[in-house]
Amino acid sequence: MTEANEHDNGAAQHGAGQSGGVIPGMHAWPAYHIRGRSAASPIVLSVPHAGRAYPASIIQNLRNPANASLRLEDRYVDRVATYVAAETGAPLLLANAPRAVIDLNRAPNEMDWSMVKGEAARGFRSGSPPSRRVQSGLGLVPRRLAGMGELWRQPLVKGEVEARLSGIHRPYHIALERLIRAARQGWGTALLLDIHSMPPLGPKSGPDAAPDFVLGDRFGGACDARLSTLAAEFLSAAGWRVTHNRPYAGGYVLDRHSAPSSAIHALQIEICRSTYLDEDMSEPGSGLPLIARCLASMVRMLEDELAGWSEAQAAE
């Protein structure tokens, strides 16, 4: 992996829409990009884990940059989401910053401070025990991966985490909040689809075949059950294997931005990488157009459903 060839998604994203935030060490590259118009749809799309704009300092500090980036990224799922946005008109928020720099699906306090030079004695600043995700090594800044161990050669320097929070994390979530608010104001309701990808969870055949999609709604806390059910039924009818909340129920993005009691719903979509990447799961494969078209059709169906909700509210 080189810094130059990992900028392809960031470069492509400069073509239209709005950009914001800044990646520390890469001041020419915004932290995120928005495609499409606010409130053009009751649905907002977000992709927090597919960024590929790596600062040179990150590449140099990773013990195994090629494998670590491949494992941490929701590899090329931004290309799926970009197609869906273009076909449906739903606005799309794309992170340019890689997950190796900061995980946008983690709360700001989900940080292993022992990774930061001179900060270990301060412990976990929230005063609460570290979350399961932090303990596993996948906190705000990832520390380790199964089968790879420690990711970094050197600890972080004091101030780096705050620079990433202020330059990437906060701007991204403020932008997402604004997109959702605009959809809610324009349509009376809003649905955030937070799009991720996952490694294969097991064999794809047999009675316990691994899913192609996992839909997460925080066990009903983030999304109206009808929307989750409609999405699952649509994907199942298209021939895909779908599970609900297991093993992925959603993370900080859903926790922060969903408010079903205020007509703001959020659903996380995990797509198995084997469905749209090549055999090595490193480059786009022949299945990508099929997955993208299927999701675009699902989004159009959900847009129609939500438009009906809006009409019913207006009639009342």
User: If we measure between CA atoms, which residue out of 149, 130, 139, 156 comes closest to residue 57?
Assistant: 156
| Distance (Å, whole) CA 128 – CA 2 | 39
Beta strands in the chain (DSSP E): 18-20, 32-35, 43-47, 92-95, 144-145, 149-150, 190-198, 213-216, 242-244, 264-272
Which of 41-45, 61-65, 155-159, 259-263 is predicted least confidently? 155-159
Q: What whole-number distance in Å separates Cα of residue 187 and Cα of residue 306?
A: 8
Number of Cβ within 10 Å of residue 139's Cβ equals: 22
Q: Burial level of 17, CB count in 10 A (0-12/13-18/19+)?
A: middle
Count how many Cα atoms sit within 13 Å of the Cα of residue 170 in the half-sphere of its side chain: 8
The three-class DSSP label of residue 28 is coil
Distance between CA atoms of residues 3 and 234, nearest Å? 39
Asked whether the CA dihedral 163, 166, 169, 172 is positive or negative, the reply is: negative
Residue 92 is predicted with a pLDDT of 98
Query: SS3 for 35?
Result: strand
Provide the pLDDT for residue 127. 58
Q: What is the mean pLDDT of residues 23-44?
A: 94
User: Is the peptide bond between 247 and the residue preceding it cis, with omega within 30 degrees of 0?
Assistant: yes
Distance, first Cα to last Cα, the chain: 56
Torsion region of 250: left, alpha or beta (phi above 0 gives left; psi -120 to 50 gives alpha): left
Three-class secondary structure of residue 150 per DSSP: strand
Q: What is the structure's pLDDT at 27?
A: 80
Distance CA 231, CA 197 (A): 16
pTM exceeding 0.95: no
- What is the pLDDT averaged over residues 125-145? 84
In tens, the pLDDT along 102-122 reads 999 999 999 999 999 986 545
Tell me the per-residue pLDDT of 166-212, one tens digit each, with 9 for 90 and over.
999 999 999 999 999 999 999 999 999 999 999 999 999 888 899 99
- Long-range pairs of 311-316 with CB within 8 A, sequence gap ≥ 24: 313/188, 313/189, 314/188
pLDDT digits (tens, 9 = 90+) for 57-91: 999 999 999 999 999 999 999 999 999 999 999 99
When pLDDT is cut at 50, 70 and 90, the band that residue 16 belongs to is low
Query: Could you count the other beta carbons within 10 Å of the beta carbon of residue 21?
Result: 21
Residue 128: the pLDDT is 65
Give the rounded percent of residues in the chain with a pLDDT score beyond 70: 90
Quick one: pLDDT band at residue 4, thresholds 50, 70, 90? Answer: very low
Of the candidate ranges 118-132, 209-223, 231-245, 283-297, the one whose mean pLDDT is the lowest: 118-132
Helices 77-88 and 288-315, packing angle to 10 deg? 40
